[in-house]
Chain A
Amino acid sequence: MLYYSRMITIKGVSKLYTDGTVGLKNIHLQIEAGEFASIVGRSGSGKTTLAKLLIAEESPTRGTIEIGGWNISRIRQRDIPLLRRQIGVVFQDFKLLPSRTVFENIAFALQVAGAPPAHIRRVVPQLLEIVTLEDKAHKYPVQLSGGEQQRVVIARALVHRPKIIVADEPTGNLDAINTDEVIEILKRINRFGTTVLLVTHNRDIVNRLGKRVIVLEDGEVVSDVKHGKYRL
Chain B
Amino acid sequence: MIIYSAIRVVKFAVQNIWRNLGLSFMTVTILIVTLLSFNVFLAMSVMTRFAVATVKEKIDAGIYFSPEATDQQVQEVQEFLRTFPEVKSLTLKTRVEVLTAFREKHKNNPDILASLDELGENPLGPTIVVSTFEPGQYTAVLGALNTPELQKIIEGKTFDNNQGFIERLQLITKRVEQFMLGVSALFIVIAFLIIFNTIRVAIYTQREEISIKKLVGASNGFIRAPFLLNGVMYTVVSIGVAAGIIFASLGFLDGYIQTVFNAGFSLTEYFRSHWLVFLYQALGVLLLTWLSSGLAMRKYLRA
Contact = CB atoms under 8 A, between A and B. Distances in A.
Interface of A: 55-59, 77-78, 80-85, 89, 95-97, 99, 108-109, 111-117, 156, 159-160
B14 to A, nearest CB: 14
B4 A84 contact: no
Interface in B109-159: none
Contacts of B272: none
A156 B216 contact: yes
Contact of A112 (B208, B211, B222, B303): B222
A81 B217 contact: yes
A111 B211 CA distance: 15
B217 A160 contact: yes
B3 to A, nearest CB: 9
Interface in B164-217: 208-209, 211-217
16 contacts: A77-B220, A78-B219, A82-B217, A83-B217, A84-B216, A84-B217, A95-B215, A109-B217, A112-B219, A112-B222, A113-B216, A113-B217, A114-B2, A114-B4, A115-B1, A117-B4
Nearest to B222: A112
Nearest to B211: A95
Specify the main secondary structure of chain A where it touches its partner.
Answer: loop
Contacts of A85: 216-217
9 closest pairs, A vs B, by CB?
A112-B218, A85-B217, A109-B216, A84-B217, A114-B1, A114-B5, A81-B219, A81-B217, A95-B212
A136 B222 CA distance: 29
Given A81-B222, A156-B216, 7 more contacts: A56-B303, A58-B303, A80-B214, A108-B212, A109-B216, A116-B4, A117-B4
Nearest to B221: A78
B212 A84 contact: no
Contacts of B303: 56-59, 77, 80
A84 B213 CA distance: 10
A117 B3 CA distance: 11
Size category, B interface: 20 to 34
Specify the main secondary structure of chain B where it touches its partner.
Answer: helix
A112 B222 CA distance: 7
Contacts of A97: 208-209, 212
Contacts, number: 65
B4 A112 contact: no
B8 interface: yes
Given A95-B211, A95-B212, A115 B218 contact: no
Nearest to A75: B303
Contacts of A55: 215
Given A57-B303, A58-B303, A81 B211 contact: no
B49 interface: no
A111 B217 contact: no
Contacts of B218: 81, 112-113
B19 to A, nearest CB: 7
Contacts of A78: 219-220
Given A77-B303, A97-B209, A111-B8, A84 B214 contact: yes
B21 to A, nearest CB: 13
Given A99-B19, A115-B4, A84 B220 contact: no
A89 B215 contact: yes
B213 to A, nearest CB: 6
Contacts of B8: 111-112, 114
Contacts of B5: 114
Contacts of A81: 214, 217-220, 222
Most buried by B among A80, A83, A96: A80
Contacts of A77: 220, 303
A109 B215 CA distance: 9
Interface in B286-303: 303
A96 B216 CA distance: 11
B4 A108 contact: no
Most buried by B among A108, A109, A112, A117: A112
B61 to A, nearest CB: 71
A222 B212 CA distance: 33
Contacts of A57: 303
A97 to B, nearest CB: 6
A56 B2 CA distance: 25
Contacts of A112: 8, 213, 216-219, 222
A117 B8 CA distance: 11
A109 to B, nearest CB: 4
